[in-house]
Structure 1
Amino acid sequence: MINHINNKHFIEGVSLEDISQAHPTPFYVYSQSKITSTYESLKNTLDTEIFYAIKANSNQAIIKLMASLGAGADVVSVGELERAITAGVSSKKIIFEGIGKTKNDIAYAIEKNIRLINVESIDELERINKVALHQNTKVDIGIRLNPNIDGKTIDKITTGKKTDKFGIDTDQLEEMFQILKDLQNVNLISISCHVGSQIFSINVFTKIFQKMKNNAQIFTDKGYSIKHVDLGGGLGVKYQENKDALNLQLLKEELNKCFDDTPYKLSFEPGRYLVANAGILITSVITTKNNGGINFLVTDAGMHSLIRPALYQAHHEIEAVNKDSNEFINYTIAGPICESSDIFAKNIGLPKQKVGNLLVIKDTGAYGKVMASNYNSRGLPLEILVNNEDFVVIHQPLNVKEFIALDQIPEWFN
C-alpha cells in the first residue's frame, strides 16, 4: 500500500513525511482507495450481500465509506448500532449479533427496525420474544449456529468450535424448535455462523458452506422459510509478505458448487478483510538503547495504541521511513508502556535509526484504534483518512487533561 517515490513514502498521493509534519505521532492513516478496491473485489467475486463487521474499525468515516459502497453493517453492541445509524447505514441493512444482548439492547434494536437480530442462545431467544411482546410487535430474527468447525486459527480468535461461547449448539436445535413454536413475537428468517478469524483454508470454508446448507434444510423441513444464510466472516488477511493470500476465486467456486440451486440469499460479514491492509500506524523513535546485547528502539506508540502484538502475539511488518544509513542493525521495537509485553517486533533488521525517526507499522486498519486505551494515562492516537492527494483527520482524541477531567472526585474529599 505504501509507494516509494524519490526516497519518500506515499499512501495514495500523500507523503507520510508531510502528514507527520502536520500532526504529532503516533497516528493511524487509512487509504480510501485501498478500502474501496478491496470491497469491490470481494463483492464482485463472491456476488453476495456484504455486511461490514464494524468491530474491526468503527470510525464514522470508515462506516460511511462502506455504506456508500453498498455494504450493510454487522454490529455487536448498541454503541455499534448507533454508530452505524449515525453514519447513514439503512436500518434494514443492519444485523445485530453478540452473545450478551440485554433487554434494553434488544428493545433499542427493535425500535430502530433493523434487518434482524441474530440469536445466540435459547435464553436470548425467549428474552427477545418477551421484549417484542412488551412492544406489541413481531421481530425478524436469525439463529446463529455453532457448527463445531475448527477454523484452523489461533485459540483466541476461534468462535465456531463446540466449546466456544458463541452461537447455539446444533445439538440443542430440537429443544430450540420446541420452544420456538410457542413464541408468537419472533419471525425466524435467517441462520448464520462465524467460526473464527484469519481462515485461509478453502477446506474449512467448504465445511462451513456444506453445514450451513444442511442446517438450512433442517429449518426448512421444520416449516421455517429461510430467506437468508449468513456465512460469517473470517476471510484471511495477509500480514506477512512471504505468506499466500486467500484465494477468492477458489472460494467463489466452492460457494457456487454448494449453493447453486438454493432459494435463499447468501451473505458474508467481513471486517478485518476489508480494512486491515488499508491502514498503517506511524510512530516516532523516542529512545535508542542496548540492554543485554539487544538493540531497542522505543517508540511513542505502544500497546495502548496497538495491542494486537501483546495480546495475540500478532505479526506486523515494520518499515523505517528514515533510511539515512547504509548500516543495518537488528532491533527490538518496544513501546513506552510499563509492561514487558509491550513489544511490537523482535530482532528485525532496519537501517540504523536515531531518535526522531519515523517507523511504519503496517496492516493496522483493523483492530488497531478500536482496541486502543488510555493505559498509563497516555493519549490515544488520532486517525487520518487519505483520498488521492487529500488527507483529513477523522478522529481527534481527547488530550490528557480532557480525559482526566472525566473523572469525578467525591465531595467528601473536600
Structure 2
Amino acid sequence: MDHFEYRAGRLHAEDVPLERIAAEVGTPVYVYSRATLTRHARVFRDALAGRIAPHGRAPLICYAVKANGNQAVLRILAAEGYGADVVSAGEMKRALAAGIPAEKIVFSGVAKTDGEIRAALEAGILQFNVESDAELDAIDRVAGAMGQIAKVSLRINPDIDAGTHAKITTGKADNKFGIAWDRAPDVYAHASRLAHIEATGIDLHIGSQLSKLEPFEAAFTRTVGLVRSLRAAGHPIRHLDLGGGLGIPYDDETPPAPEAYADMVARVTGDLDLQLIFEPGRVIVGNAGLMMSRVVYVKDTATRRFLILDAGMNDLMRPALYDAYHEVVAVSEPAAGAPRTPVEIVGPVCESTDVFARDRLMPPLDAGDLVAFRSAGAYGATMSNTYNARELVPEVLVDGDRYAVIRPRQSIEDLIAMDRVPDWL
C-alpha cells in the first residue's frame, strides 16, 4: 500500500497534487510520502515484535541507510525506534546526525579503512559486521592502538542462491561478500585469540529483492545450525544478524508480507536465546517514493516511438545498472479506454544505456506532459550522480497537504565550484 493515487484525474502524493510540486520545484524530482514511510516502518517493526519478542529478546531493526540516506527519512525512522546498518563512515555520520543512537548502529561493508574503523570505535557503535580475515586483523590492530575492545559479528556466507538478479545477489560462494561457510570455525577460533576483538555474533545477507521465503529459510536454518556448533565449541554467540533483502512489488511480483517473514524467522530461531538483528531497506522506503519527470520530446523513427524525458540514467540508475523495472504512469490520469502503444522511454544522457523502458505500453503523451516512476524510494536518489554535468535531483517529503524540499536541486554553479584549478594552469 502507498499514498500515491489519482484524485479528480490528477496523481497525488497524499493530499498534494504532483503537478503542484512539478510547477514549484521543477523536474526531475523525487517525492516521498511520510504516511507510506511511517506505515511500512510500523508494519515491519510490529510484525517482528509480535512474533519474535514473546519468545525472547526484542529484535533490533537496523535500517539499511544505503537504500535512502536523506536526513528527513532517517529522522522519521529514528522516531520509530529504528537503528541503522551502514557501509561507510559517511553513512554512519548521516545516521548519527539524524538522531540514531550509536548503540543501534552496525557497520557492514567489505572494505572498511583504518579511519572508518577508528571513527566507528570513537562513536561507540554496536558492532562491526566483519567480512574477511584481513578486516578482522585490521579492527584488532586499530582497536588495540585505541585501547578498546571491538565487538564484532562475522559475516558468514551460507552459499544459498537467493533466486534474484545476479547483480544483487550476495550470499553465494563466488560473491565478494562474507567469509566462506567451511572456514567459519577457523575464523571464529582466530577471533577468540585476538586481544582486542569480542566476537559474539553471526551476520548473513544473501541478496536483495527476494520474492520468496524459501531462500531465507534455507539460509537461516543453516546458520542456526552454525550457532549451535559454535556455542558447543565455546564461542559466546549471543546475537544473530539476519540481514535484509525482502522484496517489494515493482511489477507483478508478490513478495511475502512482513508477517509471513516474521513467522518463518520465529519458527527457525524460536528455541535459541539470541538477540536478532534485521537490516531492511527497500521494503521500508521503496514504495514510499517516486520520481517525477517531464517529457521533453516525442520522437518517431521508422521502427519505434521514443519518449525523451528530462530525467536520465544519472537520476535513476536502476534500469541501466541491472535492467530494473519501474512502473511509469502519466501524472494526468488517462481517459478510460485510452489506447496504449509501445514506446521506448529514454533520457537525455549521452549513453545508449540511458533507457528506462523498452516497448512499454503507454497512453498518448506529448512534450510537456508529466510522468512518474513508481517504487523509486529505494536506490533512486541515493545512487544518483552528476554525469554529463547534470545537477543532483531534489527530494521532496509530503506530509498530508504540505510538502518540504528535503534536498534542494544542486546548481551548475555549485557543481563547477567543486573543481579546483591549479595555479599553474
For this structure pair, what is the TM-score category when the shorter chain's length is used for normalisation? over 0.9
Aligned 8 A contact 2:185 2:230 in 1: no
TM-score, structure 1 as length reference: 0.97
Q: Percent identity?
A: 37
Measured against aligned partners, the alpha-carbon deviations of 1:187-216 in whole angstroms (never above 9, x if no partner) come to: 112111000001122111111221121111
Within 5 Å, which residues of 2 pair with 1:283-322?
283-322=293-332
Q: Which residue of 1 aligns with 2:166?
A: 155
Within 5 Å, which residues of 2 pair with 1:84-123?
84-123=95-134
CA distance in 2, matches of 1:348, 1:165: 35
Given the alignment of the two structures, is residue 402 of structure 1 paired with residue 422 of structure 2, yes or no? no
CA distance in 2, matches of 1:154, 1:348: 21
Measured against aligned partners, the alpha-carbon deviations of 1:239-281 in whole angstroms (never above 9, x if no partner) come to: 01x3323233332232222122111111210111110111100
Change (3 A) 1:75 1:16: same
CA distance in 1, matches of 2:372, 2:404: 19
Deviation of 1:101 after TM superposition, in Å, equals 0.5
CA distance in 1, matches of 2:198, 2:333: 61
Deviation of 1:88 after TM superposition, in Å, equals 0.7
Q: Which residue of 2 aligns with 1:171?
A: 182
Instruction: Tell me which amino acid in the other structure corresponds to 1:21.
Output: A
Deviates more, 1:78-87 or 1:345-354: 345-354
Q: Which residue of 2 aligns with 1:139?
A: 150
Measured against aligned partners, the alpha-carbon deviations of 1:91-120 in whole angstroms (never above 9, x if no partner) come to: 000000000001111111000001111111
Within 5 Å, which residues of 2 pair with 1:215-234?
215-234=226-245
- Report the 3-state secondary structure (helix = DSSP H, G, I; strand = E; otherwise coil) of the residue aligned with 1:411: coil
Change (3 A) 1:324 1:104: closer
CA distance in 1, matches of 2:393, 2:253: 29
Within 5 Å, which residues of 2 pair with 1:251-400?
251-323=261-333, 326-400=338-412
Q: 1:249 aligns with which of 249, 252, 259?
A: 259
Measured against aligned partners, the alpha-carbon deviations of 1:312-369 in whole angstroms (never above 9, x if no partner) come to: 0000000012357745432211100111111111222222111111001110000001
Aligned 8 A contact 1:323 1:352 in 2: no
Aligned 8 A contact 1:208 1:231 in 2: no
Q: Which residue of 2 aligns with 1:17?
A: 19
Structure 1 residue runs without a partner (length 5+):
none
Measured against aligned partners, the alpha-carbon deviations of 1:198-235 in whole angstroms (never above 9, x if no partner) come to: 11221111112211211111221222222211111010
CA distance in 2, matches of 1:226, 1:21: 55
CA distance in 2, matches of 1:76, 1:298: 35
Q: Which residue of 2 aligns with 1:3?
A: 5
Aligned 8 A contact 1:323 1:351 in 2: no
CA distance in 2, matches of 1:182, 1:350: 62
Deviates more, 1:251-260 or 1:19-28: 251-260
- Report the 3-state secondary structure (helix = DSSP H, G, I; strand = E; otherwise coil) of the residue aligned with 1:412: coil
CA distance in 1, matches of 2:185, 2:231: 14
Aligned 8 A contact 2:43 2:258 in 1: no
Aligned 8 A contact 2:188 2:199 in 1: no
Q: Which residue of 1 aligns with 2:54?
A: none
TM-score, structure 2 as length reference: 0.94
Aligned 8 A contact 2:162 2:206 in 1: yes
Instruction: Tell me which amino acid in the other structure corresponds to 2:407.
Output: H
CA distance in 1, matches of 2:340, 2:211: 34
Aligned 8 A contact 1:56 1:272 in 2: yes
Aligned length: 412
Aligned 8 A contact 1:212 1:231 in 2: no
How large is the Cα RMSD of the aligned pairs?
Answer: 1.3
CA distance in 2, matches of 1:52, 1:74: 6
Instruction: Tell me which amino acid in the other structure corresponds to 2:14.
Output: E
Given the alignment of the two structures, is residue 76 of structure 1 paired with residue 78 of structure 2, yes or no? no
Measured against aligned partners, the alpha-carbon deviations of 1:123-172 in whole angstroms (never above 9, x if no partner) come to: 11111111111001112111111111110111100100011111111211
Q: 1:126 aligns with which of 119, 133, 137?
A: 137
Q: Which residue of 2 aligns with 1:181?
A: 192
Aligned 8 A contact 2:11 2:333 in 1: no
Instruction: Tell me which amino acid in the other structure corresponds to 2:343.
Output: Y
Aligned 8 A contact 1:192 1:231 in 2: yes
CA distance in 1, matches of 2:153, 2:257: 29
Instruction: Tell me which amino acid in the other structure corresponds to 1:110.
Output: L
Q: 1:239 aligns with which of 250, 270, 292?
A: 250
Deviates more, 1:385-394 or 1:197-206: 197-206
Within 5 Å, which residues of 2 pair with 1:38-57?
38-47=40-49, 48-57=59-68
